[in-house]
Amino acid sequence: MRGLCCDVADRGGPIENFFPDREVAADLLTRYYTDYEPESTFVAVSGGRLIGYINGCMDNRRYGLVMFWLLGPALLVKAFKHGLFFRCEIHQLLRSVLKNWRRIFVWRKKSFHSHQGHLHIGVAAGFRGQQVGRDLVDALVAHAARKGATELAASVHDANKAAGDFFQKLGFTALERYPMVLIRNSKEEHYHSLLYVKTI
């Protein structure tokens, strides 16, 4: 699952498009879900191979606290040991975070301050369009209902039309829209982050 998360992290393309270290990226993208809330993760398997995953969190505030106090510091140490702070891609990412932090942590009404849930989903390239994503969302929504969660949200890059159409087909609505900046190859890329929300 860590590998597939990295394979699809850039709107369906590989994480290496903007982040140079797979292991640190996989920790950042998956460790909360695998280590602190594994019951909210579902995977799809075909012929013994993992072809899809959905990582769920039923409480965004808990996610924020675990990331900030527990996983974040450990990740910083690991990134330092891997020499990432000497990489220009990381300098660009840190500059992006500085430009975006208010948008992510303050303006976003349904982010880390709320007790709602969120999800990340990925299906391997050769297995898309075969209802794998739909089955994964159905499994997570049923789980969320059992847990008493009332909302699930997914953040989508506005250029990721496939994901936007997918979430709309599955009954999600784009409720929030924020301007964001990603700096890569020394250029600023401006885009919007859409928050698709489904009421359970």
Ligand X SMILES: CC(C)(COP(=O)(O)OP(=O)(O)OC[C@H]1O[C@@H](n2cnc3c(N)ncnc32)[C@H](O)[C@@H]1OP(=O)(O)O)[C@@H](O)C(=O)NCCC(=O)NCCS
Whether the CA torsion 19, 31, 171, 51 is positive or negative: it is positive
Task: By CB under 6 A, tell whether 38 contacts ligand X.
Answer: no
Count of residues that bind ligand X according to CB under 6 A:
22
Stretch that binds ligand X, among 63-71, 86-94, 130-138, 176-184 (CB under 6 A): 130-138
Compute the least distance from the CB of residue 138 to ligand X, in Å.
9
Site for ligand X in 67-126 (CB under 6 A): 120-123
Identify the residue whose tokens are 């709107």.
Answer: 11
**Binder of ligand X out of 6, 8, 182, 197 (CB under 6 A):** 8
Task: By CB under 6 A, tell whether 173 contacts ligand X.
Answer: no
Task: By CB under 6 A, tell whether 193 contacts ligand X.
Answer: no
Task: By CB under 6 A, tell whether 49 contacts ligand X.
Answer: no
Task: By CB under 6 A, tell whether 46 contacts ligand X.
Answer: no
Compute the least distance from the CB of residue 88 to ligand X, in Å.
26
Q: Which residues lie near ligand X (CB under 6 A)? A: 8, 11-12, 120-123, 128-134, 154, 156, 160, 162-163, 165-166, 169
